[in-house]
Structure 1
Amino acid sequence: MVITLSDQYFQYFINPSKRKNRNSTLANALLNLSMVSKITIEQKFLERGHTQVEADSIHSTIERKLRHTNISVPADYVAICRSARRYPRPYTVYYLGHGFFKDFSKLSFLKSLRPGKRVGDPHVTDIRSLKYTPDGTIGYKLRHSENYMDLQFSRVSKKTRLEQCCPFSELTALYDDPLAIKKEKFLHLQALKMSIPADYHNFYDNLSYH
């Protein structure tokens, strides 16, 4: 992912092969962010075969740092990721708990990202760029060289979208508790404790499982 950011404009380039990057739930979340924060968000999908982005270099740098490194608990990754690069400055790392994640499926401005409904109309996978604006509209491009065209909202009016946008802090939490792992995995982790310093055993003993 490549990001360009200013006070009123946010642009990022993203891998087109991932279905999770081009769906109505993400579109609703980005439109909501645009309306609440009063910024324009431009989401561009890289062309296949041209997907080398900055994140690839970051992953490679962190992987090199991880070589021959012992990991006792997930939090150990924070220091490793932060120290993987020295210049021009260390990476900024956020360690997220379950309480950070929100349920964006409750936002229902848009039911589908497909530009058309009839046979022969473009499909979601034909979209090359999306633009979310603070006035509650979404523009799309089928080619990067084209001008943006307005995506049609079948049910929710622009006025309603602006009234229903919700600050991040007020969105419903996605998880009430940390996700439970399978009992089989829990038992495997218990067996691994013999190779982990005793100071970390409490973390594994308190994992939720089902």
Structure 2
Amino acid sequence: MECDSVHAAIERKLKNGEIHILSDFISVTLEARKNPTPYEAIHVDYSLVKDFSDKSTWRYNSIRPGRKAGDQVVVDIRAIKYSPEQPIPIASAKFHHLQQLKAVLPRDCHSFYDNLPYV
């Protein structure tokens, strides 16, 4: 399968490399293949997430799979929330452990770890 060869190429490139921040995965992915063309990598952020509060952008009015009484219903979803201005904070203990790791990380990666929200 094509995806298996992509993952294998990325893993080979990672074998002797180091990942310090998430954006390092993009660099490794782009460098994993040169010919015929490099792999495409997209940095995912909140700008790619659909704003579900704007009903004009909805494809469907309902996520219910059926249309009449007796048809299947969706019961496992409790809520869908879109909040790009609210990154989910990590636990304080995890934040402090990550701060200790900065001793072995390049200085240009420190600001990423310093700016993580925590509670």
- Give 1 or 2: higher strand fraction: 1
When normalised by structure 2's length, the TM-score is 0.71
Structure 1: runs of 5+ lacking an equivalent = 1-52, 125-171
Paired residues in the alignment total 109
Structure 2: runs of 5+ lacking an equivalent = 75-80
The residue that corresponds to 2:107 in the other structure is: 198
Q: State how far apart, in whole Å, the 1-side matches of 2:87 and 2:72 are.
A: 40
Identity %: 38
Structure 2 counterpart SS, 1:104: coil
Summarize the Cα distance change of 1:122–1:109 in structure 2 as closer, same or farther, 3 Å threshold. Answer: closer
Q: State how far apart, in whole Å, the 1-side matches of 2:18 and 2:102 are.
A: 13
Higher relative contact order (CA 8 A, sep 6+): 1
Q: Within the alignment, does 1:93 sit opposite 2:34 as a pair?
A: no
**8 A contact 1:98–1:177 mirrored in 2:** no
Q: Within the alignment, does 1:109 sit opposite 2:18 as a pair?
A: no
Q: State how far apart, in whole Å, the 2-side matches of 1:103 and 1:57 are.
A: 34
Q: Which runs of 4+ in 1 moved over 6 A?
A: 121-124
Structure 1 counterpart SS, 2:3: helix
Summarize the Cα distance change of 1:114–1:201 in structure 2 as closer, same or farther, 3 Å threshold. Answer: same
Q: Using the TM superposition, give the Cα deviation of residue 117 of structure 1 relative to its aligned residue in structure 2, in angstroms.
A: 5.4
**8 A contact 2:13–2:28 mirrored in 1:** yes
The residue that corresponds to 1:207 in the other structure is: 116
The residue that corresponds to 1:187 in the other structure is: 96
- Give 1 or 2: higher helix fraction: 2
